[in-house]
Structure 1
Amino acid sequence: MKSTFTKFCRRRLAAAIATLALGAASTAAIAQDQKKGISDDVVKIGLLLDLSGVLTDIAGQGTATAVQMAIDDFGGKVNGKKIELVFADHNNKADIAAAKAREWFDTAKVDALLDVAGSATALSALEVARLKNKIIVFNGPGTLRITTDLCAPTAIHYAYDTYSLANVTAKAMLKNGGDSWYFLTADYAFGASLQQTATEVIKEAGGKVLGAVKHPTNASDFSSYILQAQSSGAKVIGLANTGADTVNAIKAAQEFGLLKSGKQKLAGLLMFINDIHAIGLPSAQGLLLSEAFYWDLNPETRAWSKRYFEKAKRMPNMIQAGAYSSTMLYLNAIKATGTDDTETVMKKMKATPINDFFAKNGKIRDDGRMVHDMYLFQVKAPNESKSPWDYYKVIGTVPADQAFLPLAKSTCPLVKK
């Protein structure tokens, strides 16, 4: 009995020592991180936006407004150190985006890029962030490559991507009989990615793609593209573009009477509330689209959006809401760890569940994709809208594990197979 009791006591003592050791190690790790402190005694956030081009209405000044709101709501300081925001226009040119990112990281002491508008510009800035070992978060671009073959340990894709958009919208159209497609595709990385992803979804569901036509960004005349789509006989015309290009394509479709016969429908694969506002409900009514956020979803979204409206004089889109949310995640990670060190902050961000007005039970996967629910909306008819910006009807909610590319299919080298 004595021997058994002695062994029991020894085991309990060993367990207690091990627990103390783990606690000490954890405390030591936290202390070590805190010793790193805030570099240059300031937390500097950068944004590379489209302030003068085709994306300016959806990924321009409005994003800067949302990030500044987050900084202000945080009190303008984190752990006693000032938070600064810098932003610039990359003119939708990849070389300018890369050069500005490099300049900011090297000489302006920017700690993190928390958005880059546009896919081609985003990919160029991503490579600079990878080289400089800096945090980069994306809300504006959609290209899936951010979390597949070009994924980086310091990169997060936050609001949406081409897979989630095409997956949700295309499946809804297919369910309603839209089994033949023709694409109007923006001739750059984002458009190609959106068309490819939608094509895969369509073919997997037994549908077919009859063809596609590419158009330059910021195209002034869509008449020839609409005529080609019309003559294809496809039941669905998929708009693999965004911003002003999407608005102009829909207006041209109306002018040419593409939708009057009822034989063809438009599918906006990336549309924002800004686009519906620009088009107007008479032309946009009935469109199906997917988004990660809508200002009138619930009391939380309404409360934040009304504050945003007071500053921007328009309701926010999912890019702007995501930019606020991801900025708060970044600043809270710095507050919790006591440092702006890249590895430490990124580790904390990836370990933190996202529960705010933008996303519930959101989480950042190993490939850098922040997964969350997506929503399928239908644009209201004019007589259904009760107030300005009252544009969407919620058709359905798609859970995160069904909306985004399954991790098992990811080609990201960071994902353990």
Structure 2
Amino acid sequence: MTTPDPARPSLPRIGVAAAVGTSLELYDFQIYGTAAALVFGQVFFATGDAWFGTFMSLATFAIGFVAAPLGGAVFGWLGDRRGRKTALFGAFVLMGLATLGMGVLPTYAAVGVAAPVMLVLLRLCHGLARGGENSSAAVLAIEHAPQRRRGLYGSFVAIGSPVGTILANLAFTLVLLLPDGAVLGWGWRIPFLAGGLVLVVGLWIRKGVAESPEFRRMAEQEGAREKAPLLAVVKTNWRRLALVAGVNIGLTASTFALATFMLSYATARAPEGLGLPRQPIVNGSMIALVCHALCNVGAAWLSDRVGRKPVMLAGAVLSLTSALVMFPLSSAGTVAAVNTAVILGFCATGVLFGPMYTFFSELFPREQRQSGVGVGYHVGAVLGGGISPMIANRIIAGTGDAHNVGFYLAALLVLSLVCLLCLPETAPVRASRASRRTAVPEPSR
């Protein structure tokens, strides 16, 4: 009988630490996106043109993504040199403090242009933290995992995205019960101020998780750790780094178009938007995110059995199809039509996203792993999710036709599909099958 490794926490403990901690971090990051779509255009960017004010608000949302690759490099170095857990805690604290700062910012009406400037600086801190947190959590969880359950362990980090977004939407659902004047005056601050509680809870949940066994073994070996892990990745694995970014472009463009842009498009006044009430759209988005989370876990579980690439390729094709269907369906102009489109989109992207952190982590050697995952993932996120809500806003402003947003998302998903085809399979189950097929039979005696 195999003796369990006492340094390896149980599956429930790792699952809770990865999923809950990352969910709370995503809550901090995503409440900005929700606020940018619903209120920041009026609170910090009072330009006189409501749709352009929303565009400026979404542009500051994109800034958080622009800073994330730098965060991936900084916290990737820290994780590959000093430990995954050290990087994880540093990124989480920075995220929580930036969120608290946003909750106490003066508005444009109070201090003028200084307000959006301070908002941008805090959003940059959000981006730096985001660049380190999810890669640190993913690598820590996967390096604790039994080899044939890495996909499932990695999905605990993946579901942090929909669950954190659900928490953000739920927070604003409660805020939107207030009168409009109260929402714009002080109600929008409540979800940000709750970031202080989020910070305390997240640190408490993660404090009992040990450093990963793989990093501990690497730390014990003289010279095993790279002095400049990102430079080593660029020199020896630049092709995989570029392909990782390419895979993530279409995924994040689609998910953040669904999570952020669709809120502003559905609720904005005609002709740019559909003029629908905010609350039922937010409610529909939360249902869609639950479906996304379930698809994340199901796809990751399946990837441990049939391989990462077959599952992710299926998710990419489904996401491409949903991008082309989403806006024709939404053009019916009803709450039911918009919510159905968002649910379909989130189910499809959930299949692609579920195995992604595990797949990316398995592509890089352990001494480069966190730097490779952090920088590759977030370069793709900048070119995809960071700018997709802003570009979608301008596409509608320039063409007057929301269907063109679907074509834009579909083009990025084609790029993701091509990059995915160029990468090797990494799942142990596929590697073992390949070795059995090529094994030379022993001669008969």
TM above 0.5, yes or no, is no
Give the alignment's TM-score, normalised by structure 2: 0.27
Return the structure number with greater relative CO, CA threshold 8 A, min gap 6: 2
Kindly indicate which of the two structures has a greater share of residues assigned to helix: 2
Give the alignment's TM-score, normalised by structure 1: 0.28
Kindly indicate which of the two structures has a greater share of residues assigned to strand: 1
